[in-house]
A and B are shown apart, each in its own frame.
Chain A
Amino acid sequence: MKTFNLSTLAFALVASSSAFASSIAITNATIHTATDSGVLKNASLVITDGKISAINPSEVKADTVIDAQGGIVTPGLISSMNQLGLVEVGAVGGSRDAGDDKAGIDFDPSMAYNPRSSLVAYARKGGITQDLIAPTGGDTIFAGLAAAVELTGAFDSVIGSQKALVVEMGEKDKGSRAMSYKTLVDKLESHKQKLAKKDDKKKDETPSTEDQVLTKVLAGKLPVVVEVQRAADIMQLLKIKAQYNLNLVLCGANDAVLVADEIAKANVPVIFSAMDNLPGNFDSMHANLANAGKLEKAGVKVMLTVAGDASHNMYQLRFDAGNAVSYGMSYDGAIKAVTSNVADVFGLTGGKIAVGQKADVVLWNGDPLELSSHVVKMFINGEEISTQSRHDKLRDRYMKKSDMPAGYTK
């Protein structure tokens, strides 16, 4: 499959001979490893067979050697909690597949993932190589299952389904959020009871998908991403986490700063928009640009995501990280918040520049968090991949002077 990707994509998008090489080296780079190794200056790395095979080897040997000329190398960025490949045009119902009225615990939208969506190439402009796509759910608090995709555009680019169960808590238009807690706890409790009684039951009965998911949830093996803002809600969820051994991840969490120490103590990571700073509702009165930095300082593992229409605007993830730095997050922490932290929390390979890691690597011409920088080269699984999208073709069509109508410029 990899070989197939390589030939089609390389011809179609980059026509780069380097993509055919079995080993690639990048030299003369500043490498942000997103690991405890921190930043390596005047460094080099070697990619072999889709993996990072060496960092700063004494002698660089590779089929293709790329002189970064002092440029910056980061792991491919990892976005999360958006509907990439599940929605093409927001207002076109037929192009939306992230939610369904009947969606529940066992709803897996990755079955509907379209790797050829025009959003995929556009997101690559932002240096994003992997993404955690999330369901938008239906009538219950259980939105469904998140999945991991890599942004190759290939038909096998869903690299992991069932990476997390997504649950929506907090304010409700009608009724009480207390009912959401009842629904959540009842579901967990009844499954716990069911597992306890399992021995009494027929052992050969195949559990439903929902039961399989809940079993993993109660074993702490499947992250439960809870979308929630209010501090009081977060405290409730920390109790439920303790009671049911949940691998809890908070998402949104505009008020998390009020209970940052408790979140850190409970070892609960937070997915966060660095740009939220308005009280969108009474649950998010403490949204603030400084929150990402404050959570980091309290010892919370922070992951950043783009607010609003995150699917189309995903490429801005690095700018959000830059703003987080501007308002108090450490630079290294901001890089990790869009790479290795996401990989660690959701059990993805990649997101780190380290020997043995999946070679999702981006070379930038300058500070990747700055508006002025851009992707120079991008590799997913060690294969070079283009950041050209249809937007570039549209631009070129209308900027190119031609004797014929623009409609003939391809």
Chain B
Amino acid sequence: MQKFVPSILAVALGVALTGCQDQGPKREKVEINKNPYPSTYKPYSGSSTLIKNATVLTGTGERLDNTDVLLVDGKIKEVGQNLSAIADTTVDANGKWVTPGIIDVHSHLGAYPSPQVESHQDGNEMTSPNTAEVWVEHSVWPQDPGFNRAREGGITTLQILPGSANLFGGRGVTLKNIPAPTMQGMKFPDAPYGLKMACGENPKRVYGGKGVLPSTRMGNMAGYRKSWAAATEYKRAWEEYDKAYAMGLNPEAPERDIKMDTLRGVLDGDILIHNHCYKAEEMAMMIDLSKEFGYHAGTFHHGIEAYKISDLLAENGNCAALWPDWWGFKMEAYDMVQENVAIVDAVKNSCAVVHSDSDTTIQRLNQEAGKVMYRANDVGFNLKEEDAIKWITYNAAKSLGIQDKVGSLAAGKNADVVIWNQSPFSVYAKAQQVFIDGAKVYDRDDEKYQAVSDFMLGQK
């Protein structure tokens, strides 16, 4: 498929258009199905829940004391004091804290599941620097015990991304963290797709070792530019086709290219970029790359050096999904500062996110955010719980393009809610109850709500 040089494709199409009136019977319009593996997720409970007298962090910067949260028909119906509604279940949350469901924008659960045996290494199609044609949802093993552990830490939504060996690793998928025998049973309805890109050391190491472009950082950039140039031609070819068909002509459809469908989705604004990119200078170049080809550079993941360009990120509307303290595992992770998230967050119109990229720390994103808050406050920041929670709720939802559905506690939003035994930013904090779309999916005190994966069932 890649053998088709895009310019030839365009020329061929041009020729076809001029002669198409005389080419026999009218062809059926070729349409590309953008959602061939649709979500089959359904909330499993229709019951209503009233959570009373909690300390509520809304996810959008507010802390509300002695406040009630009412969940009805899978939605947050009301957040306020002394709600008088009668619900199927009332939870006394006096002394407890309530937050939106926690969202991890960077997970490999299901694609790199536990046990981490060779047969389970399904997260990285390391066979070409551009594998935009792979969709990580086709790798997700829903029985990964890690999903259950993450839910016990309050994770209600997570984006699964392919790995970072390639310039274009493929499509990510956003999942509801609900036990299901199929990936589609977990798929977050109507969440936009993500495209995983990776700057820096990984692609050049993986392909340079094979004697293939890229073997350098400049090779990385060349690879990106070539691919985006091809995608631009592909998009134009389809648009010409659609236009000609609409004009009543009888054009031949361009050849379908699954890889280019994904890149075109980015150029059309349907698919969001999630870019593994550590270094300040590379993030800046990726922003320019997006401007060169007319798309948005999206979220930078692992941006260890985001603090060096916090103004640029905010001006360009990029989210930065960051760790509080991982570092030193490779050169591009050397310049870590513990306050990175807080420095990015301090800029107006910023979008700082705490992410995990880990099957263990995903279980404690609350603690990860807490570490940032406290270390930043140690050096003069004045961050509060209502600020830090945004990094793992609202800003994360924004990064995934689902902020209209989840990420904050506001009437009309999906009822994804966590009840914590205390401030979630304590090392001793635990999620006590977790709700997804109003259904209780975890209860620390009730085994009935503690899912066990097929894999772990009956292991002694």
Contact = CB atoms under 8 A, between A and B. Distances in A.
Interface of A: 88-92, 118-119, 275-282, 285, 307-309, 311-313, 315-316, 319, 322-323, 325-326, 369-374, 391-392, 394-395, 398-399, 406
- 5 smallest A-B Cβ distances: which pairs? A322-B427, A91-B330, A90-B329, A312-B328, A395-B337
A88 B374 contact: no
Contacts of A282: 115, 117
B336 interface: yes
Interface string B316-330: 000000000111111
B395 interface: no
A323 B374 contact: no
A92 B359 contact: no
B149 to A, nearest CB: 6
For the complex, would chain B's binding face be called helix, strand, loop or mixed by DSSP majority?
Answer: loop
B87 interface: no
A372 B367 CA distance: 10
A398 B363 contact: no
B326 A313 contact: yes
Given A89-B328, A278-B359, A370 B427 contact: yes
Contacts of B339: 395, 399
B145 interface: yes
Interface string B375-401: 100110000000000000000000000
A190 to B, nearest CB: 35
B313 to A, nearest CB: 13
Given A89-B329, A395-B337, A307 B427 contact: no
Interface residues of B, number: 45
Interface of B: 114-117, 145-146, 149, 201, 307-308, 325-331, 333-339, 343, 359-360, 363-364, 367, 370-371, 374-375, 378-379, 425-430, 455-456, 459
Nearest to A258: B460
B117 A394 contact: no
Given A282-B115, A369-B427, A394-B335, A309 B374 contact: no
B201 A91 contact: yes
A92 B329 CA distance: 8
8 contacts: A91-B201, A278-B146, A281-B116, A282-B115, A312-B328, A370-B427, A374-B374, A391-B336
A275 B114 CA distance: 15
Given A275-B360, A394-B335, A312 B456 contact: no
Contacts of B360: 275-278, 307-308
Contacts of B427: 319, 322-323, 326, 369-371
A312 B307 contact: no
Contacts of B336: 391
Nearest to A92: B331
Given A89-B328, A323-B427, A326-B429, 11 more contacts: A88-B328, A276-B360, A278-B114, A279-B114, A309-B329, A312-B328, A370-B427, A371-B374, A391-B337, A394-B337, A395-B379
Contacts of A374: 374-375, 378
- Residue with the highest number of chain A CB atoms closer than 10 Å, among B117, B328, B367, B374: B328
Contacts of A372: 370, 374, 425-426
Given A280-B114, A371-B425, A399-B343, A319 B330 contact: no
